[in-house]
A and B are shown apart, each in its own frame.
Chain A
Amino acid sequence: MTTMQKIHVTVNGKSHAREVEARLTLADFLRHELHLGGTHVGCEHGVCGVCTVLINGQSARSCLTLAVQADGANVTTVEGLRNRETGQLHPIQQAFVDAHGLQCGFCTPGFVMTTLELLGENPDPSDDEIKDALGGNLCRCTGYQSILESVRLAASRLQTTQSA
């Protein structure tokens, strides 16, 4: 029950060595051990997608992942997106602001992380591809229309940046 394990996790480029209980979820580890509160928790049974982070570049439910499973991994959370020097938002974050892709904002970090993965793999997704990617993230406020628009906007801005 209280077996402690040593883990070494790199989060947003910074490495952390910690001793944690084997049962500690990655979400709780990020939120309460590393004080990275941007990864929210909505259902703790893997349905809502609010807690989505990237583990070695792949989206994952941090509520269904144990911290010990992330031993040796590279984890990216929403805190890793903004420019550290200037505070400037990542183009995906800015697109969500500009296209009103959020209301309460609780699910937003999960959507942003899923979008980051999507646009990394598929810079010019169709609407159906966007919906497929975001189908595992619940939003109770927006009705998704403005989220779809945010992802389209982010994709077009990122493409412009890359081709410039």
Chain B
Amino acid sequence: MAIEIPTLPEQLPTSAPRFVGKEVNRIEDPALVSGTVEFIDNLSLPGMLHCAILRSPHPHARVIKVDTRAAAALEGVEAVLTGEDVGRWCAPAFTAPEGWGSYCMAVDKVRFVGEPVAAVAATSRYLAEDALELIQVEYELLTPVANPDEAMAPGAPLLFEERGTNVIQSREYTWGEIDRVFADADRVVSRKFRWNRVGANPTETFGCICQWDLADNSLTCRGAYQTPRFMGLGRAASLKLPANKVRIITHAQGGGFGGKGGPRGTDIAALLSRKADGRPVKYIEDRMEYLLAGGGQSWDRYYDAALALQADGTVTGFKVRLVDDQGAGAEGYGTISAAKPLAAFTGNYRIEAASYDLTLVATNRAPTYPYRGYGPPPHNLVLESLMDIAARELAVDPAELRRRNYIRPEQFPYTVPSGNEYDSGNYAAVLDRVLEMADYRALREAQAKARAEGRLVGIGVVSTVEPGVFDWNAYATVGVPGVGVPEGVKVAVDVLGNVTVAVGFNLQGQGQFTVAAQVVADYLGVDMNAVKVATASTDVAMPHFGQGGSRLGVAVTGAILGACEKLKQTFCLLVAHLMHTGPEQVELMNGRLQLKGAPEHGMSIAEVAGVMLARSDLLPPGMEPCPEATFVWTAPNRNLPDDQGRCRSYLTAANATHIAQIEIDRHTGQVKILGYFIVDDCGTRLNPASVEGQLQGGVAQGVGAALFEEYVYDPQAQPLVTTFVDYLIPTIHEVPMTTKDHLVTPSPFAPLGAKGCGEGAIHTTPATLMCAINDALSPLGLEILETPASPHRLWKLLHGHGAA
């Protein structure tokens, strides 16, 4: 029988949902506030050793000799690992495109500062770090490649000599008649933009405990893993083990935001365990390692972009040329983040033609990894900044210019030129609501008054689309094969009516365990405290991906609903058999299997489960005694991309408009946020408090990217940012307390109508703040097109010390 997934909360088998759509407290929280959650560094195993990693101080050098004799002789040191072991036992990381990966530890040369060159396992971390000081490494220094210009210059030193170039990928996508719309345009605005490196920086760094079973040559990795099975496959490939001999047990994580997983650290700890006769080895990345070389640097971009407009303000074309500094290879899937903008290339607008000229370049900076949003935040900065510049040139209000170009409600589902289909939305209604909430007219009047007083006050109004529920087909362009991202669960009912949901991922902060409990409790008519959500290790879990791509809340909802539908069908068969009637006469409602039209005749799900497990004599012939069901969900109706990368990739399209009012201090260059307003529409809000938390958290990270955070490298590719004193995470003083409202346009395609909502705010906030800053600067004829707009950069701009 076909499994139908409810697309609205009203379709759940309950007279009124008690939990879905409500601001219920999170089931995760009592343990988290008590400090009793088992984050990986809280776990110790018998006989466990501690790993410390020696890292390269050079951005580009040949490793001539690693002398570990003194370290190995130190009392308490049980194993030492070098590139020689790694070259013998391992394979380089798989990458997309292929062939741009390194080994977990330098085998012949180092390609960035912080790349591992040796590692030690000792009886304490303190001792392991002592031992590192005894290791002597002889390097032959090579000329570093510090940026894409240097990397692409004729005769440039090569990072991967066998590739013959530092260009990882170069291709151009053309969608529609781009040359014609630019030739016919009444006005073209173009600018160059520079987005400097930022990154995830969860408060918990990566950590793991790896144990190599020497008897059956298998590996168990416990740790902070965001995408357990994907990580397991990668380890199997790099450590040359069958995938079913790598077991990943993922622990709760102190945030992720993209790069949580530590493939190099895992491989190194695993190999140390192998060398230490199978004793478990713990590796906890410290913050300086994270900032130097962890999976946390993203989006190092140089843009050259143009917008074509007609005289009435209709935008007809959008051309983007992107050179993306990937760092030392493609091991962190940074390439994918350059492909993601295809899912919403032209934003909220009816733009008929677009082109994307994409060049991904390897340099001797640290490799780039995913970060929340995965590419659109810089892309949206470019598009929205050009919209504002066009509005200024046309002397049209920037909100009005956006409104004129919005996709209209009756046009959904709407296919954008770059191929993705947006499911639903009402962009003008969102804009109207935020303009009203912010009292936009009053903001503009206040701005005029402030300007007359010589103050630099600016307003940004920015609209974005958040592609939600990622699919692998979105990344086929950089060489990731596949359509569909399975997410599986098992739902089990016991004889007392308790329900256990087994999933393949663990806590990371977004509250998916609570969402899972809300959905299953409303479907099966039990209380939320009767629901246990448990993480299965990869050897027994259903196919899964876990957190990533603004997807998991929707995907796990779909999987649970599918499993519940299957349970319902089986339960109806059993109850119909017991009542001597047909299954079509039985329905599930409020936790009871009952006769349609005579609801007093029925059984609770606990009674049904009890019969199944304890009265095989009552079951219909051939029925399994199993009140459990599995279901693996993937987004429906996805397809392969065409030769220009066009496909239905992301299932949902949430949208938002943010308004920021800021003031720049002329004397310090500091930006003060005076007001911040958000109206968004992510369809059904499964837990409104969690949605608000995602929005506000994204705003904070957007504030960081726009105003403070930057991985600075010197001209020799030496990182200058290695502590939180240099990498400035916004505190409670810098993040605005925002005023929020929302609209609800349910997705017609997604489970319960919910759209991906974890990334929208970081897609929008950087552009909003930069547009506001440029609005403030416009009376001076100044412009800042580089992020972050730090006090230092703005002060230099305001005081004429060169271009910002």
* Chain A contact residues, CB within 8 Å of chain B: 1, 21, 23-24, 31-32, 36-45, 47-48, 50, 77-79, 81-82, 89, 93-94, 96-98, 100, 102-109, 112, 131, 134-148
Give the docked Cα–Cα distance between A108 and B509 (Å). Answer: 12
Question: Measured between C-beta atoms, what is the minimum distance from B693 to chain A in Å?
Answer: 6
Question: Measured between C-beta atoms, what is the minimum distance from B606 to chain A in Å?
Answer: 27
Give the docked Cα–Cα distance between A134 and B36 (Å). Answer: 22
Contacts of A141 in B (CB 8 A): 255, 509, 693, 697
CB pair B28 A105 closer than 8 Å: yes
Closest to B130 in A: A1
Chain B 44-93 residues near chain A, CB threshold 8 A: 44
Contacts of B412 in A (CB 8 A): none
Chain B facing A: main interface SS: loop
Give the docked Cα–Cα distance between A113 and B432 (Å). Answer: 43
Closest to B255 in A: A104
Closest to B725 in A: A47
Question: Measured between C-beta atoms, what is the minimum distance from A59 to chain B in Å?
Answer: 15
Q: Does B637 count as interface, using CB distance less than 8 angstroms?
A: no
Instruction: Give B787-801 as 1s and 0s: 1 = Cβ < 8 Å from A's Cβ atoms.
Output: 000000000000000
Using A43-B723, A143-B699 as known contacts, say yes or no to A103 and B732 having CB atoms under 8 A apart: no
Give the docked Cα–Cα distance between A48 and B738 (Å). Answer: 23
Give the docked Cα–Cα distance between A50 and B692 (Å). Answer: 23
Closest to B127 in A: A2
Contacts of B724 in A (CB 8 A): 43, 45, 47-48, 138
Question: Measured between C-beta atoms, what is the minimum distance from B533 to chain A in Å?
Answer: 15
Give the docked Cα–Cα distance between A148 and B507 (Å). Answer: 23
Contacts of B737 in A (CB 8 A): 144-145, 148
Which 10 residue pairs across A and B have the least CB separation, nearest first? A38-B35, A106-B254, A105-B32, A104-B509, A143-B696, A37-B42, A103-B509, A143-B700, A47-B724, A78-B35
Contacts of A135 in B (CB 8 A): 731-733
CB pair A145 B507 closer than 8 Å: no
Point out the residue from A40, A45, A79 that lies within 8 Å of B39, measured CB to CB: A40
Point out the residue from A45, A82, A98, A104 that lies within 8 Å of B203, measured CB to CB: A104
CB pair A104 B34 closer than 8 Å: no
CB pair B697 A142 closer than 8 Å: yes
Q: Does B511 count as interface, using CB distance less than 8 angstroms?
A: yes
CB pair B725 A105 closer than 8 Å: no
CB pair A50 B203 closer than 8 Å: yes
Using A48-B203, A140-B201 as known contacts, say yes or no to A105 and B732 having CB atoms under 8 A apart: no
Interface size class of B (residues with CB under 8 A): 35 or more
Can you list 24 A-B contacts (CB < 8 A)?
A32-B44, A37-B42, A45-B287, A47-B725, A48-B724, A77-B35, A82-B34, A89-B34, A103-B509, A103-B510, A104-B254, A105-B28, A108-B32, A137-B732, A138-B729, A140-B255, A140-B701, A142-B697, A142-B700, A143-B693, A143-B695, A144-B696, A144-B732, A146-B693
Question: Measured between C-beta atoms, what is the minimum distance from B697 to chain A in Å?
Answer: 5
Instruction: Give B178-202 as 1s and 0s: 1 = Cβ < 8 Å from A's Cβ atoms.
Output: 0000000000000000000000111
CB pair B253 A104 closer than 8 Å: yes
CB pair B700 A144 closer than 8 Å: yes
Q: Does B177 count as interface, using CB distance less than 8 angstroms?
A: no
Give the docked Cα–Cα distance between A134 and B735 (Å). Answer: 13
CB pair A41 B41 closer than 8 Å: yes
18 more CB-based (< 8 A) A-B contacts, given A45-B723, A106-B255, A144-B735: A37-B35, A37-B36, A37-B38, A38-B34, A40-B204, A45-B725, A50-B203, A78-B33, A102-B29, A104-B32, A106-B253, A134-B731, A137-B731, A139-B700, A140-B255, A140-B697, A140-B701, A144-B700
Contacts of B455 in A (CB 8 A): none
Q: Which of A106, A139, A140, A144 has the most chain B CB within a 10 Å cutoff? A: A140
